[in-house]
Chain A
Amino acid sequence: MNTPEERPTLAVWKFASCDGCQLALLDCEDELLTLADRVQIAHFTEATRATVAGPYDVSLVEGSITTPADRDRIMRIRQNSRLLVTIGACASAGGIQALRNFADVSEFRSIVYARPDYIETLDRSLPIGEVVPVDAELRGCPIDRGQLLDLLTAMLAGRRPHLPDRPVCGECKLRGTSCLLVTGRAPCLGPVTRAGCGAICPAANRGCFGCYGPIGDPNTAALIPALRAAGLDEDGVRRIFRTFNAAAPAFADAARGEEGEQR
């Protein structure tokens, strides 16, 4: 085993987010201590006061960029990181807070705060990749613990991580879940959403609501009539694309198409 100084360094950073994706690392209950023997956890404020100066071999980045200060901070982190991996929908698509991108943020600020002048914020919630280059992204709201472990193992072994770009539908087939859209039981984003969750929603009799964001080449135009047939009205179609990956271009376009000339 390497001495602590020789182990690759891992840093975990948080921006605008719910903490859930970095919690996924602490949720690796069976693997956490083994992992800590293999890498040096150099910065992870949710878990430890100790911090080691960079540069870091791998930085895991949770959250989206919503303030000028955070934009500067992610640039410094990028300069200090050999590999930068985003974790979760906030980091890869701006998260639920990217709903501000479709509204007037000064209005938002005054709805929530009595003294909006105290609050400094950007007009848009930006994915990390819009501010700095990203080496890999783990999708999901939240990310999957298994994918995180695979990514970290791949990094230690010097191989490529297994990050599928196929739709959730494949996972339903593997589980033997009958198709909600075909049977008309519920509107489902599975055909355009990236796999990784294990198709847990259709298995619980509810449609996929897109936690992992769009696949590389989603045919949203073909899906929308099926969503309507399963019971969604225009506003429902717009809203189903506008949740945790609202600002991912394919979902943003699909929602905008439903708005017609409104915006």
Chain B
Amino acid sequence: MTHRHDRVLRVDALARVEGEGALHIHVRDGKVGEVQLEIYEPPRFFEAFLAGRDYAEAPDITARICGICPVAYQMSACQAMEDAVGITVGGAIGKLRRLLYCGEWISSHALHIYLLHAPDFLGFDGAIDMAARHRDLVERGLRLKKTGNQLMTAVGGRAIHPINVRVGGFYRAPAPSELSALLDPLRQALDDAIATVGWVAGFDFPDFEHDHELLALVREGTYAIEHGVPHTDRGLVFPVSELDHLVLEHQVPHSTALHATLAGRDRYLTGPVARYALSGRWLSPLARQAAAEAGLPAVCRNPFQSIVVRAVELVYAIEEAIALIEAYEPPHPPVVHVDPAAGVGYGATEAPRGTLFHRYDLDDRGVIRSVRIVPPTSQNQASIEDDLLRFVATRLDYDDARLTSVCEQVIRNYDPCISCATHFLTLDIHEGELP
């Protein structure tokens, strides 16, 4: 076992994350000097080229920020546009949106649990070689993922970059028979998801805890997905319209993604662990039972156990989808009429990996004047680096290969979506107004 005083760990291309990132850790005199989660994903300038586009184009265009969570972008964009023009969309359309979102949660969580994260715990490079030993398990994961994709296809028209979403609702409401055809696969998926919770709960989790402030949307009486009010576990509650004053981002030299902090506070964490801490009591009885049997505490502060929380959310999203389909009545019409109007609108929804904020400023013809998008991975980046710093400090006796491998695992705990993170706010507008 090596125990050197000066060492540099580099992972030039992080595997099994969405997008392109690297990790640099410098250890000097036996202490961790510097940790950088470097995001080198090339910038694509969404905020810049959205200016001048029509409000109705934002759901389709912002979906292209991320192929893993396009529904999250579409939903936050729609909500923000509806806020800007002063309409509310709920009822049967709102339920159909929640159903589409459940599809994305199922698909994305199954992808992360089985193909990206579990191989770390079982000592495989990836799911393909894991399948050589555990084919039935990988097949179960793929079956779950497929069910999520089928749901997105039935409601959204296709799984990657759905085409049926528009500001105000949908282009077309699916026929009840198109959705009820999914009940059998969803019931199979529910069994698979419950088995998933039991499976991942048995993994060997390193002893480690963080103390990040946890932020998630909360909506009294339900597990918030497609809307809610931002809350933290330390008592901060704010309307989404306070976004620009409270969620601050700054650029760091090593990254094409911004780091977010809360004004007057510090780093914070968003995502499944935060949702579970703030809304766990509103999970379905079955999901709560699965969590209890997995030994999950009410607030889970071991980031390695996030895989268990994701599995519990998988149970919930499937149950919720079944309930929504069983009660489904097609909205007529499937869209609320929109008259373009000048205004500023805010949207926030729970992407699979955390809260996704959008803000748009429209002119009176509905043309976008400015945009701010705050994706979950930008918000989590400072917390991930803090975890790395503290985790590495307690594992300096590991050799380079093992230490590098566990550091990658620390990053994967957060299911970072680097494609998402590489899109930032318009600093020029609000810089002078910040408190």
Contact = CB atoms under 8 A, between A and B. Distances in A.
A109 B45 contact: yes
B60 interface: yes
B66 A47 contact: no
| B13, B43, B426 pick with most chain A CB within 10 angstroms | B43
Give the interface size class of chain B.
35 or more
A19 B19 contact: yes
Given A17-B419, A36-B131, A97 B44 contact: yes
| A45, A50, A115, A239 pick with most chain B CB within 10 angstroms | A45
Contacts of B233: none
A18 B419 contact: yes
A49 B42 contact: no
A209 to B, nearest CB: 7
Interface in B115-159: 115, 119, 125-129, 131, 135, 138-139, 142-143, 145-146, 149, 157-159
Contact of A243 (B60, B149, B251): B60
B228 interface: no
Given A96-B64, A108-B48, A113-B251, A50 B125 contact: yes
Interface in A93-128: 95-97, 99-100, 103, 105, 107-115, 118-119, 121, 125
Give the interface size class of chain A.
35 or more
B126 A114 contact: no
A142 B157 CA distance: 13
Given A47-B127, A48-B15, A112-B47, A66 B42 contact: yes
A125 to B, nearest CB: 8
A20 B68 contact: yes
Interface in A171-203: 197, 200-201, 203
Contact of B251 (A108, A115, A244): A115
A26 interface: yes
B102 to A, nearest CB: 17
B47 A19 contact: no
B18 A19 contact: yes
Contacts of B279: none
Contacts of A18: 64-67, 70, 419
Contact of B135 (A33, A45, A50, A67): A33
| A14, A29, A115 pick with most chain B CB within 10 angstroms | A29
Contact of B48 (A20, A44, A66, A112): A112
Interface of A: 14-24, 26-27, 29-30, 32-33, 36, 41, 44-50, 66-67, 70, 95-97, 99-100, 103, 105, 107-115, 118-119, 121, 125, 141-142, 197, 200-201, 203-206, 209, 211, 236, 239, 243-244
